[in-house]
Amino acid sequence: MIAHVSSWVLPITGPPIREGAVIVDQGRIARVGPGAEVLRGFTGPVEDHGNGAILPGLVNCHVHLEFSALAGTVPPQIRWEDWLDEALDGYGGLSAEEVEAGVVRGIEAVHASGAALAGEVTNTGISLPHLENSPLAYHLFYECLGFDLLEPVDLEEIFPFLGQAAAEASSPVSAGAHAPYSVSAPLFRAIGAWNQARRRPQTVHLAESRGEEEFLATGDGFFRDLLLRRGRRVGDFQPPNLAPAAYLDSLGFLHDATLAVHGVWLSLEELDRLRRTGAWLVLCPRANRYTGAGTPHVQQMLESRVNLALGTDSLAGNWDLNLFGEMLWLYRHYPAAPGELWLRLGTINGARALERSDEFGSLEPGKRAALGFVLLSGDGDFWGELFAAGAEGRFRWIS
């Protein structure tokens, strides 16, 4: 057993603890509380980290590690459509070795910046063996695309990776849906059924760009052109004439084990629908700014009381994979919200979204002792300093 103490301990599921202590026993949290109480009678080693905060490892709910090799090569864009073109072109120019080396660097960056658990979206599955051999815990979403799959779909026949993953009952692997403009209705149903049969969470990009709404309403616009350019059959597509969340809801795809990512262009009515289904909305605000998708309506999201978690998205569409950066951005843009809210989104909410809150997301007895520490001066505003220090890379693992 070892005790970690510092001027602050942030349990997340309880208020911050001044002069707090966390006792770790064989990789698990044994006790958390004020040092004066927790350390009474404790005879093991005590590691005093000094001025700063002990906190649980973060939960980054949305990354694409495969795009890590594109770091710095796709500049920030004004129009999301231009970003997509550049990112797809860039990815097409990478060798398999470059992609794999990027995955390894991406895992290292996500973990070093403070995440204990990540929701990884993959199109190839190549990140899986690397994640298995890393200290970063993960949930892998194997992303399915297929706008021209118009008959009932045998998912494992079309995506054999899922057949292999399904063989392992305890494997943290799900089927993921790319987006309403790239996944047909029968494919959405097959993905939903596959995940539900295994009681695993699922994910989908939702309302990231404005064109999605137009495409679902009229069958026209940027996405029709994109599908045609990529040789997909769209001639017989009957637009549902529904808003994006309403469309997914009509397919039974929205429920409390669904992570809908971005939601930049969801109306208040759509946010309310999402809340009623219990689905999670994963915010990636810096990524939305980087790619030109827009600025998420965070105030409306908070007012709607939809379940919120955080992600960074990829190095093709963000400055880094550091979740503290998303928290800092939110903290600076929404000063009326309590600072601790953003840390909750990046810890316990993410752990609940990925259905791993029995192990991650807070400092509570029995959970995995994935503890980090951020050195703080204690001057000025606590949350602002914490998020800025984390965003500058001053998080370090202590257990």
Point out which residues bind Zn ion (CB under 5 A). 313
Residues 6+ apart with CB under 8 A from 353: 59, 61, 119, 201, 259, 280, 282, 307, 309
Half-sphere exposure of residue 336, counting CA atoms within 13 Å on the CB side? 4
In the bound state with Zn ion, the residue whose beta carbon lies nearer, of 313 and 326, is 313
Of 332, 291, 395, 347, the residue nearest 80 (C-alpha): 291
CB of 268 to Zn ion, least distance (A): 24
List, as one string, the DSSP characters of 320-386. -S-HHHHHHHHHHH-TTS-HHHHHHIIIIIHHHHTT-TTTSSS--TTSB--EEEEE----S-HHHHH
In the bound state with Zn ion, the residue whose beta carbon lies nearer, of 66 and 313, is 313
CB of 62 to Zn ion, least distance (A): 6
In the bound state with Zn ion, the residue whose beta carbon lies nearer, of 60 and 349, is 60
C-alpha gyration radius of the chain:
21
| 75 three-state secondary structure | coil
CB of 314 to Zn ion, least distance (A): 6
In the bound state with Zn ion, the residue whose beta carbon lies nearer, of 55 and 65, is 65
Is-contact 11 23, C-beta < 8 A?
A: no
In the bound state with Zn ion, the residue whose beta carbon lies nearer, of 313 and 385, is 313
CB of 91 to Zn ion, least distance (A): 13
CA triplet 123, 263, 279: central angle to 5 degrees?
80
CA triplet 97, 98, 100: central angle to 5 degrees?
65
CB of 391 to Zn ion, least distance (A): 20
CB of 262 to Zn ion, least distance (A): 7
Q: How far apart are CA 271 and CA 264, in angstroms?
A: 10
Half-sphere exposure of residue 360, counting CA atoms within 13 Å on the CB side? 27
Angle between helices 211-218 and 222-229 (to 10 degrees): 80
CB of 237 to Zn ion, least distance (A): 23
What six digits make up the tokens of 227?
A: 């599908």
In the bound state with Zn ion, the residue whose beta carbon lies nearer, of 60 and 362, is 60
In the bound complex, which residue of the shown chain has the CB atom lying closest to Zn ion? 313
In the bound state with Zn ion, the residue whose beta carbon lies nearer, of 81 and 313, is 313
In the bound state with Zn ion, the residue whose beta carbon lies nearer, of 281 and 370, is 281
CB of 205 to Zn ion, least distance (A): 5
